[in-house]
Amino acid sequence: MTKAEWRKKIKNELLSMEAKDRKAMSEKIAEQLFETKLWQNSNCIGITVSRKFELDTTFIIKKAWEEGKRICVPKCYSANKKMEFRELSSFDDLENVYMDLYEPIIEKTKDIPKENIDLLIVPGLVFDKKGYRIGYGGGYYDRFLQDYQGSTLSIAYSFQTAEQLPFEEFDVPVEQIITEEGRHI
């Protein structure tokens, strides 16, 4: 399948999930994340704020705050396809920008330099056994990851994994993938 075909297939599966199943599986995946050394040893975590049809990240963000960890979320600049991470200390510091994405309000948040992010939870639609991913097609994370030195992992439902995906030479695989069925890679 092509990247576009993968995107369509997985997005349809995400949209067809029942809310109660999404919540239960999201929490199960989050609990497995909290048991990893990557989570336990990280002080500053980069993560996206999930949209309604995606694996719910609000549980993870709240747990990080409870544990005294810093959370930063991406702010994308479409003009130059750049992305920065800004510290989030309240969901009130977010605004709905486009495509139902929630991003940090610049005036209420501060920029977190890339080198200060210990763990980056990289989003995607589908992941393969080598850690390669197909995202939404903007390329923001691929560019950000080129010189990122911290740890990376992704969280996904098991149906968002595949044996092998098409990838480009500039794609950067994640170190670990966690699904409701356990850890992979």
Name beta bridge partners: 73: 86
What is d(CA 67, CA 137) in angstroms, rounded to the nearest whole number? 33
Task: Enter the tokens of residue 134.
Answer: 């197909």
pLDDT over 90 (residue 169):
no
Helix (H, G, I), strand (E, B) or coil at 71: strand
Backbone phi, psi, residue 80, to 5°? -120, 10
Let me know: does 141 contact 7? Beta carbons within 8 Å. no
Among the listed ranges 27-31, 52-56, 137-141, 155-159, which one has the minimum average pLDDT value? 137-141
Its pTM stands at 0.94
pLDDT over 80 (residue 184):
no
> pLDDT digit string (tens) for 34-65?
999 999 999 999 999 998 889 999 999 999 99
What is d(CA 70, CA 83) in angstroms, rounded to the nearest whole number? 18
Half-sphere exposure of 140 (CA within 13 A, CB side): 20
Catalytic positions are 133, 142, 171
CATH class of the domain whose range is 3-68+115-182: alpha beta
> pLDDT digit string (tens) for 78-98?
888 889 999 999 999 999 987
Mean pLDDT of the 131-136 span: 92
Let me know: does 74 contact 138? Beta carbons within 8 Å. no
Using 50, 70 and 90 to split pLDDT, how confident is the model at 155? Answer: very high
Name beta bridge partners: 45: 71, 119
Task: Enter the tokens of residue 92.
Answer: 């009130």
pLDDT over 90 (residue 161):
yes
* 140: Cβ contacts below 8 Å, ≥ 6 apart: 74, 76, 81, 82, 83
